[in-house]
Amino acid sequence: MGRAVCVAACALNQWALDFEGNAERILRSISIAKSKGARYRLGPELEICGYGCADHYYESDTLLHSFQVLAKLLESPATQDIICDVGMPLMHRNVRYNCRVIFLNKKILLIRPKISLANAGNYRELRWFTPWNKARHVEEYLLPRIIQEVTGQDTVPFGDAVLATKDTCLGTEICEELWAPNSPHIEMGLDGVEIFTNSSGSHHVLRKAHTRVDLVNSATAKEVLVATLDLEDVRSYRAEISSRNLAASKVNPFPRIKVNFALSCSDDLAVPICVPIQWRHHSPEEEICLGPACWLWDYLRRSKQAGFLLPLSGGIDSSATACIVYSMCHQVCLAVKNGNAEVLADARKIVHDESYVPEDPREFCKRVFTTCYMASENSSQDTRNRAKLLAEQIGSYHINLNIDAAVKAIVGIFSMVTGRTPCFSVYGGSSRENLALQNVQARVRMVLAYLFAQLTLWTRGMPGGLLVLGSANVDESLRGYLTKYDCSSADINPIGGISKTDLKNFIQYCIENFQLTALRSIMAAPPTAELEPLVDGQVSQTDEADMGMTYAELSIYGKLRKIAKAGPYSMFCKLITLWKEICTPREVASKVKHFFRMYSVNRHKMTTLTPSYHAENYSPDDNRFDLRPFLYNTTWSWQFRCIDKQVSRLEKREGISVAEDMD
């Protein structure tokens, strides 16, 4: 009797609406799975069209092209003698579903619609799809003619069912269903299903891997041994658990689709069984080093650009961004060294050299990464030196320039038209003048960044253009501590979803692991925008003084606002307890009010926020994650009055208790 089964789970680099490329990657993964002896191949969620099609799911073209790809897969010799489980959208009785289509040897065995849809955070699945709410129910699905001509089937089973092969029983889940409290695998296991699969479209978030692994472990621990593919081990383990067997005797059975196919061989005693995987959890610093770096590489190769340009100020944020690019170069060289032909081909396309082999990260960095220090009369020599030294250590092509001429020209135009010349506050100007002069500098830098991104390679006799990288962190975006359309406005931003605290820890990680000693002085320096005049040649402006709050406070505000769903009053109530040892209720009230005033005044900036790597659940990204108004009544009169009343009550109560103590 066969007992050892070999199954393959595939994580593919699919691209929304890239039907040609998606089909090729699916077929390649099936061929690889078969070459390694797999008899069942599982792919990612919605892999045929790509998970991120968004409102393109509404289009009939998306459904049509998905079926065309499915037909191509069914016809391919690569899909013979292996059960293929692919993801695609389809319409059943005029309702759109997110489905798994499971087929074998040109016959569709089952179309399994998703039961629990993801609809929080970045996910909007209920906007495009309907969950299948008919538990253990199967209907007949009328196949489109393009599929009928390949399979010879008019209808196929559609619904909540499992596959019964000649040697085992297999059930499928789709992404969010694993996270649901009533996950399908629980009752599937009680009903004798021995193998669970889960096709996922889940994105990376810092510190989320622990949750994922725990969910998988808990799912398998309920019914099977972890990471075993020996069916007899599964059966023996279950049979000795009496409570499980009692529950199994009462379970409502799933419809079984009989499959005349075995996942095991009759003579498999010599087949080695996989040992359990020892999952290595990356630290948050490692995740920042690896995740955004892969994201940058993916964006670069897909956009067909020749590299990146980063305005490098010598501060924490832009330096962390530079380190992520350097990490990307490390990953590329390592992949090429390990024989990854795809990465090598992509690298050659990017540098426009068919014989090039990236071996040294610094040398590769020189080819694909340009850094630019944009000095003004308000810039210090210290930040210039820090930027220059870091660029030398990572190997980027570094440019030093001065923006004063451009700034003076713009201010000069204003003065010529109005007859008035604005001044910084240190020279007697108003706060309006002071802010306007800072914004001119910041916006000039954005214009110059795009100019140099388009033409720097031209001046070097190299083809192509560069993508501009932004470097505003998640905390500054939340507070609005950035100039609208300054260097925070870029093509993409690898740190836009990462907090200042995490970025500092990442910088320390880079010092230790990449030996980038230039980062030590960057870590030691107070964060500053350097947009106001120097005092005795030294920086007098600091970020935290400008913001009226520390980065540590800002991180707490961000988590309470988004993750804890706290408005002004709720945030105040939480913080008077959290900060009771360091702040009076009145001081907490003042801090909360200041945060919400600044947040609401600046919320409009989020509508133009550069697309960023989503790394934290407290991201203020207005484009897809944190949907809020961008024009507020910034007085928050009702909310703040509730806070004031609570402060008065607390102070009165404190006064009574003090009086009682004195008695």
pLDDT per residue as tens digits for the range 571-584: 999 999 999 999 99
Give me the helices (H) in 170-241, please: 176-179, 184-190, 209-221, 231-239
Residue 222 has pLDDT above 70, yes or no: no
Can you give the pLDDT at residue 210? 59
pLDDT category at 434 given cuts 50, 70, 90 is very high
- Catalytic residue list contains 355: no
Residue 229 has pLDDT above 90, yes or no: no
With CA atoms as reference, report the closest residue to 391 among 314, 444, 447: 314
Amino acid identity, residue 360?
D
Can you give the pLDDT at residue 190? 80
Residue 191 has pLDDT above 50, yes or no: yes
Q: What percent of the chain stands above pLDDT 70?
A: 88
- Determine the length of the chain: 663
Q: What is the DSSP track for 467-534? A: EEBP---HHHHHHT-S-TTSTT-SSBBTTTTS-HHHHHHHHHHHHHHH--THHHHHHHSPP----S--
Can you give the pLDDT at residue 663? 35
Residue 597, both tokens = 């005033």
Determine how many CB atoms are found less than 10 A away from the CB of residue 230: 17
- Catalytic residue list contains 114: yes
**Which one is catalytic: 6, 34, 45, 173?**
45
Residue 494 has pLDDT above 50, yes or no: yes
- As a whole number, the mean pLDDT across the chain is 88
Can you give the pLDDT at residue 529? 65
- Catalytic residue list contains 175: yes
Can you give the pLDDT at residue 201? 66
Write out pLDDT tens, residues 563-612: 899 999 999 999 999 999 999 999 999 999 999 999 999 999 888 889 88
- Catalytic residue list contains 176: no
Residue 534 has pLDDT above 90, yes or no: no
pLDDT category at 226 given cuts 50, 70, 90 is very low
**Which one is catalytic: 6, 49, 169, 175?**
175
Q: What percent of the chain stands above pLDDT 90?
A: 65
**Which one is catalytic: 72, 114, 484, 562?**
114
Give CA–CA dist 27/610, Å, rounded: 35
pLDDT category at 216 given cuts 50, 70, 90 is low
pLDDT category at 225 given cuts 50, 70, 90 is very low
Residue 659 has pLDDT above 50, yes or no: no
Write out pLDDT tens, residues 156-190: 999 999 999 998 999 998 887 776 767 787 788 88
Over residues 195-214, mean pLDDT: 71
Over residues 189-218, mean pLDDT: 71
Give CA–CA dist 236/360, Å, rounded: 52
**Which one is catalytic: 313, 327, 499, 612?**
313
Over residues 360-365, mean pLDDT: 98
pLDDT category at 248 given cuts 50, 70, 90 is low
